[in-house]
C-alpha cells in the first residue's frame, strides 16, 4: 500500500494564493480533519454508552443525585456531538460533490480562516449573520 501524501499544516494552507482555494491539497487536509473529528466523536459516544450502562447503586441519595446530574450533563454533551456529527457528515458529502468551502447561499468562497475555525461551515460569515438575524426576528 503506497504511503499517503503528507498533509499540509494550517500555516501552509494560509500561505497559499487565493487561486489555490480548495485545491486537492486543501481538500485532503479538510477531509482528514473532518474524518478525525468524526472518529473522535464516535469513540466518545461509545465510551458514554458504556459509562451510562454501568449500574451503580448508592445508598446515599446525594451520591445518586450527583451521578444522575453527571449522566444528564454527559448526555447533553453527546446530544450536541450527535448534531455536530450530522454536520460533519454533510461537510464530507459536500467535499465529495465539490461544494465544500463555498457558501450554500451565494456560491462564493467561504474562506480558509473560517473553514479552519469551523470546517463544517456552510455559509460565508455575511450569509450566516443574515440567517441568524432572520432567526431572531422569527423567534
Write the CB contacts of 130 (distance below 8 Å, at least 6 apart in sequence).
Answer: 105
What cell numbers appear for 118 in the block?
469551523
pLDDT in the model for residue 53 = 58
Place of cell 432572520: 134
The pLDDT tens digits of the residues spanning 9-18 come to: 999 999 999 9
At the second CATH level, the architecture of 20-138 is: Up-down Bundle (1.20)
pTM for this structure? Answer: 0.77
Tell me what the mean pLDDT of segment 92-106 comes to: 96
Positive/negative CA dihedral, 90, 92, 94, 99: positive
Place of cell 473560517: 114
CB atoms within 10 A of CB 11: 7
Query: Percentage of the chain surpassing pLDDT 70?
Result: 88
Tell me what the mean pLDDT of segment 37-58 comes to: 73
pLDDT in the model for residue 25 = 94
Exposed/middle/buried for 124, CB within 10 Å: 0-12, 13-18, 19+?
buried
pLDDT in the model for residue 60 = 76
On the question of pLDDT at 45 being above 80, the answer is no
What cell numbers appear for 96 in the block?
465529495
**Domain boundary assignment for the chain:** 20-138
Amino acid at each position: 500500500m503506497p504511503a499517503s501524501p503528507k498533509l499540509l499544516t494550517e500555516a501552509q494552507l494560509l500561505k497559499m494564493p487565493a487561486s489555490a482555494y480548495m485545491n486537492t491539497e486543501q481538500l485532503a487536509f479538510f477531509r482528514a480533519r473532518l474524518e478525525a473529528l468524526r472518529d473522535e466523536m464516535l469513540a466518545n459516544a461509545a465510551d458514554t454508552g458504556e459509562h451510562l450502562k454501568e449500574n451503580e447503586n448508592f445508598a446515599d441519595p446525594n451520591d445518586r443525585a450527583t451521578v444522575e446530574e453527571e449522566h444528564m450533563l454527559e448526555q447533553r454533551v453527546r446530544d450536541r456531538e450527535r448534531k455536530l456529527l450530522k454536520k460533519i457528515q454533510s461537510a464530507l458529502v459536500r467535499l465529495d460533490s465539490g461544494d465544500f468551502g463555498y457558501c450554500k447561499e451565494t456560491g462564493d468562497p467561504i474562506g480558509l480562516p473560517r473553514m479552519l475555525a469551523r470546517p463544517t461551515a456552510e455559509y460565508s460569515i455575511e450569509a450566516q449573520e443574515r440567517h441568524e438575524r432572520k432567526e431572531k426576528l422569527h423567534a
